[in-house]
Amino acid sequence: MHPPEETLLAFASGQADLPHRVMVEEHLDRCAPCCGALHEITAAGGALLAGLSPVPPPEGLWEELRRRIENAAPGRPATALPGMPLSTGARRELPADVEVRWRRTLARGARYAVLARDPFTGGVLLVGHMPPGRFFPRHRHAGREDTLVLAGGYADEWGRHDAGQYAVYPPGSQHRPLTDAGEECWVLARLERPNRLLGWRGWLERLLEGRSGARSA
């Protein structure tokens, strides 16, 4: 599974938010077809832009451009994050001062940390880590959720998700992922509705929902 076309388009045109940039960079590192698609989009977009008449730039564009230019400066070190299976491209997109604060969940052995938050879209990037052969309780996605498997894999009601695969869960969807036996599972996730997930009440609420769902399953 690959990022949706509109996400690749947003990435190619510089409109993708920080979580999407990290996740698309990581996916491109492992996916030749998407690299090819991106080259086609870039070439077509350049031709199209050349024929457009100028419009006033959106608010915040200058600040974002400056940030991107600073980030793209040659020699900018890739953010370290030791032990995390991330590509150099993805590490370069991440803020240099990421402080990983692991949080436990009510699922035994599962933990997650917030890696970044986009100031313009409010999109949040999480890294998650699960032991092998373990269920994460059933939960509902309040908003769209993008996931990218970094290592290991999992299966859920939607299918199998192996390392490098990208999936989009629509708002209101539910699942109960089971990590593959024999390998720890690492994922990146982008959430559009951070408030519900990040507050401890939201977590508790979601996990309790999951537990009652698991009991009745």
* Residue 161 binds to Zn ion (criterion: CB under 5 A): no
Distance CA 84, CA 105 (A): 19
The tokens of 124 are what? 């949040």
Q: Examine residue 2 and tell whether it contacts Zn ion (CB under 5 A).
A: yes
The nearer residue to Zn ion, 34 or 110, going by C-beta atoms, is 34
Distance CA 37, CA 188 (A): 22
Nearer to Zn ion, 142 or 168 (CB): 168
Question: Which residue, 1 or 98, has its beta carbon nearer to Zn ion?
Answer: 1
Near Zn ion in 7-66, by CB under 5 A? 31, 34
In the complex, minimum distance from the CB of residue 142 to Zn ion, in angstroms, rounded to a whole number: 26
Which of 21, 129 has the CB closer to Zn ion? Answer: 21
Residues 169-188 that bind Zn ion (CB under 5 A): none
Are 174 and 140 in contact by the 8 Å Cβ rule? The answer is yes
d(CA 22, CA 45): 21
Size of the residue set binding Zn ion (CB under 5 A): 3
Which residues contribute to the site for Zn ion (CB under 5 A)? Answer: 2, 31, 34
